[in-house]
Amino acid sequence: MTAATVTSAALPGGTAPIAVPSTAPSSTPLRDFVVALTELIGLGLDEAALLARAKPLLETLVARDDWLPAELSEPHPQFYRQYLLHADALERFSVVSFVWGPGQHTPIHDHTVWGLIGMLRGEEVAQPYVLGDDGIARPEGASVRLLPGQVEAVSPSIGDVHKVSNAYADRTSISIHVYGANIGAVRRSVYPPEGGRKLFISGYSNAWVPNLWDRSKDGAAA
Residue-wise pLDDT tens digits, 175-189: 999 999 999 999 999
- The predicted structure's pLDDT at residue 23: 55
DSSP string, 139-191: E-S--EEEPTT-EEEEBTTTB--EEEEES-SSS-EEEEEEESS-GGG--EEE-
In a domain? residue 193: yes
In a domain? residue 17: no
Cα–Cα distance measured from residue 26 to residue 24, given in angstroms and rounded to the nearest whole number = 7
In a domain? residue 2: no
In a domain? residue 74: no
- The predicted structure's pLDDT at residue 5: 37
- The predicted structure's pLDDT at residue 2: 41
In a domain? residue 117: yes
Q: Look at residues 211, 191, 184, 205 and name the one whose alpha carbon lies nearest to residue 99.
A: 205
In a domain? residue 164: yes
In a domain? residue 33: yes
- We report the CATH number of the domain holding residue 50 as 2.60.120.10
- The predicted structure's pLDDT at residue 222: 41
- The predicted structure's pLDDT at residue 155: 97
- The predicted structure's pLDDT at residue 25: 77
- The predicted structure's pLDDT at residue 216: 79
H or E segment to which residue 137 belongs: strand 137-139
In a domain? residue 217: no
Please give the tally of structural domains in the chain: 1
Residue type (1 letter), 79: F
Domain that holds residue 119: 28-65+79-207
Q: Which ranges of the chain have pLDDT less than 50?
A: 1-22, 220-222
- The predicted structure's pLDDT at residue 221: 41
Q: Indicate yes or no: pTM above 0.75.
A: yes
